[in-house]
């Protein structure tokens, strides 16, 4: 039986839910949802079923969140801050 993923308490479950519901970007919204559900103590199997994301990906996301806090969430495919126009 897999152990539960431990989510660092950077934000409370209530704050995570608020950020999930207010996120304007789909990627950020889904990532906050995953962290929020896991922070509530939900099992990875249940979060997999709700979100469609794999357990392996959730572990990677939680690792980033635990290490970097909210800076670890969102679209990281490009470094948006380094863009100059």
Q: What is the 3-state secondary structure (H, E, C) of the chain?
A: CCCCCCCCCCCCHHHHHHHHHHCCCHHHHHHHHHHHHHHCCCCHHHHHHHHCCCHHHHHHHHHHHHHHHHHHCCCCCCCHHHCCC
Task: Kindly report whether the global pTM for this prediction surpasses the value 0.75.
Answer: yes
Tokens 């357990």 sit at which residue? 55
Domain ranges (residues) in the chain? 13-71
Task: Please report, in tens digits, the pLDDT of each residue of the chain (85 residues total).
Answer: 556 788 999 999 999 999 999 998 899 999 999 999 999 999 999 999 999 999 999 999 999 999 999 998 987 665 555 544 4
The sign of the CA dihedral 5, 55, 39, 31 is positive
């Amino acid at each position: 039986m897999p152990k539960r993923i431990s989510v660092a308490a950077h934000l409370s479950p209530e704050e995570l839910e608020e950020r999930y519901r207010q996120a304007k970007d789909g990627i950020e919204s889904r990532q906050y949802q995953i962290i929020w559900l896991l922070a509530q103590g939900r099992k990875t199997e249940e979060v997999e079923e709700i979100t469609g994301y794999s357990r392996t990906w959730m572990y990677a996301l939680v690792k980033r969140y635990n290490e970097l806090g909210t800076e670890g969430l969102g679209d990281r495919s490009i470094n948006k801050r380094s863009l100059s126009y």
